[in-house]
């Protein structure tokens, strides 16, 4: 979103060391905070904020998934509370809407396509199942601050009306505001309304209009913001998401390319699983594209969770897939597509990637990126729920 608006954007994997500068218009610090213990999520987020403030950033955006997935304890509420307190921001805007990808907020309820969040595939998410589509209730269970709503009738009247509604609902006390949005124009108006805010929170959709604020302030250059891509060579797909979308994408990929599927026994013996997957990949060196999948049907995932516990079961699959990705890169693969947010984080950590330059868009919300390092490496990191059925095929084709 930021690159499409003309901002040269660098993504940092984890918080860098103090004094590590970045030549960019926008900096993304990617943290694994969605499903860890709340206090740890807050600490990591404040550490990232400390770093960003040394760079003199004008605005901070706390980005979470457009499905707002979290637990009743957090971590969206606790992290937002801590950031808002540090930055002196009130009211704090919350808007996970991403209309281009089927996420909308109306009367405080989050919809995925035509159904409430609680009736979508997110109700069965293995780590953060979402059984309530009312974001006011969800956030109120997580936050110390009162949670109120800015309705679509105010949003449609434009940025001045949104600002007035935010000031009115705050009532002079620290508060959070769930803001309705069902179309891109709503997000553009909201972005204009929060041009002067120190803190904004939302899904990627809210970044649609933020670059315009910086351009109007004369802070953006005229050059291209899009990084070049890595082209050619073997390509590999690493699948960790159990979402319906990813399973559909994998089935489509499987029609033309070989896929290695992890089994329940593999989850029980990670070292053996990595060795088996890499031996298989080596035997398929003549194939231009392959996939290694830890994706399983919900019932199989539940069995692993019963045996190992929810957190350890997920960590085992992530560890296996991360090690497989490192082995594939060691074997010469230079383009890797990863499906699943937690899996993407595990893979970049396993590859010791610290910095990504953001390249062209593959599909809504998902770009190719280029890892800074001694060898050229292209990475496409996607949320499990993002992308069309032929996403993997199109990602590979555009970098052939």
Can you read off the two tokens belonging to residue 3?
């690159």
Say how far apart CA 167 and CA 144 lie, in whole Å.
19
| Tens-place pLDDT, residues 252-299 | 999 999 999 998 788 888 999 999 999 999 999 999 999 999 976 667
Burial class (CB in 10 A: 0-12, 13-18, 19+), 116: middle
190, 161 contact by CB (below 8 A): no
Contact, 91 vs 169, CB < 8 A?
yes
* Nearest-angstrom CA–CA distance, 227 and 338: 19
Q: How far apart are the first and last CA of the chain?
A: 24
Of 380, 331, 314, 385, give the one whose Cα is nearest residue 353: 380
On the 0-12 / 13-18 / 19+ scale of CB atoms within 10 A, 43 is middle
What's this model's pTM, rounded to 2 decimal places? 0.84
Domains in the chain, CATH or no CATH each: 9-216 (3.40.50.10840), 235-397 (3.40.980.20)
Instruction: Write the pLDDT tens digit of every residue in 228-258.
Output: 999 999 999 999 988 889 999 999 999 999 9
pLDDT at 48: 96
Rounded to the nearest angstrom, the gap between the alpha carbon of residue 99 and the centroid of all alpha carbons in its chain is 16
pLDDT at 296: 65
Cα–Cα distance, 173 to 61 (Å, whole number):
21
Q: How many CA atoms lie within 13 A of 5 on its CB side?
A: 23
User: Average pLDDT over the chain, rounded to whole?
Assistant: 93
Residues of the chain with pLDDT under 70: 296-298, 300
Cis peptide bond N-terminal to 91, omega within 30: yes
Contacts of 301-306 spanning 24+ positions with Cβ under 8 A: 301/126, 301/242, 302/126, 303/264, 304/264, 304/267, 305/126
φ/ψ of residue 92, rounded to 5:
-105, 125
Phi, then psi, of 167 in degrees rounded to 5 = -65, -40
> What is the Cα–Cα distance from 318 to 340, expressed in whole angstroms?
10
Q: What's the rounded Cα separation, in Å, for the pair 339 and 391? A: 10
How far, in whole angstroms, is CA 385 from its chain's centroid? 10
Helix (H) or strand (E) holding 95: strand 92-95
3-state secondary structure of 5: coil
- Tell how far CA 247 is from the center of its chain: 18
If we measure between CA atoms, which residue out of 266, 267, 268 comes closest to residue 280? 266
User: What are the pLDDT digits (tens) for 342-354?
Assistant: 899 999 999 999 9
The answer to whether residues 187 and 181 touch, using CB atoms and an 8 Å cutoff, is yes
Tokens in use for 283?
Answer: 């035997």
Sign for the pseudo-dihedral over CA of 379, 348, 112, 389: positive
**pLDDT score recorded for residue 253:** 97
């Amino acid at each position: 979103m930021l690159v499409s608006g003309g901002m040269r954007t660098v993504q940092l994997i984890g918080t860098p060391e103090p004094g590590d500068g970045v030549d960019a218009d926008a900096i993304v610090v990617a943290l694994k905070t969605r499903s860890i213990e709340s206090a740890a999520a807050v600490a990591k987020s404040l550490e990232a904020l400390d770093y960003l403030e040394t760079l003199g950033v004008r605005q901070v955006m706390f980005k979470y998934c457009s499905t707002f997935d979290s637990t009743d304890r957090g971590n969206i509420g606790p992290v937002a509370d801590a950031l808002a307190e540090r930055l002196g921001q009130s009211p704090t805007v919350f808007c996970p809407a991403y209309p281009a990808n089927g996420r909308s907020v109306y009367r405080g309820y989050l919809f995925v396509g035509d159904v409430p969040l609680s009736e979508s595939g997110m109700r069965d998410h293995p780590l953060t199942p979402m059984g309530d589509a009312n974001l006011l209730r969800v956030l109120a269970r997580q936050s110390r601050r009162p949670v109120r709503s800015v309705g679509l009738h105010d949003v449609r009247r434009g940025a001045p009306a949104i600002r007035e509604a935010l000031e009115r609902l705050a009532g002079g006390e620290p508060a959070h505001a769930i803001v309705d949005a069902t179309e891109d124009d709503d997000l553009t108006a909201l972005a204009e309304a929060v041009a002067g805010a120190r803190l904004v929170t939302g899904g990627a959709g809210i970044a649609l209009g933020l670059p315009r604020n910086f351009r109007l302030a004369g802070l953006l250059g005229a050059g291209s913001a899009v990084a070049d891509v890595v082209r050619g060579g073997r390509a590999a797909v690493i699948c960790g998401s159990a979402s319906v979308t990813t399973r559909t994408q994998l089935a489509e990929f499987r029609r033309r390319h070989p896929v290695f599927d992890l089994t329940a026994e593999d989850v029980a013996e990670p070292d053996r699983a990595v060795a088996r997957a890499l031996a298989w990949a080596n035997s398929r060196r003549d194939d231009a594209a392959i996939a290694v999948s830890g994706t399983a049907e919900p019932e199989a995932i539940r069995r692993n969770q019963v045996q190992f516990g929810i957190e350890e079961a997920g960590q085992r699959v992530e560890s296996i897939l991360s090690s497989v990705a490192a082995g594939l890169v060691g074997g010469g693969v230079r383009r890797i597509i990863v499906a699943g947010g937690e899996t993407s984080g595990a893979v970049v950590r396993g590859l010791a990637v610290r910095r990504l330059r953001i390249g062209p868009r593959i599909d809504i919300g998902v770009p190719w990126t280029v890892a800074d390092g001694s060898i050229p490496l292209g990475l496409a990191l996607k949320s499990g729920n993002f992308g069309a059925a032929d996403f993997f095929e199109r990602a590979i084709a555009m970098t052939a």
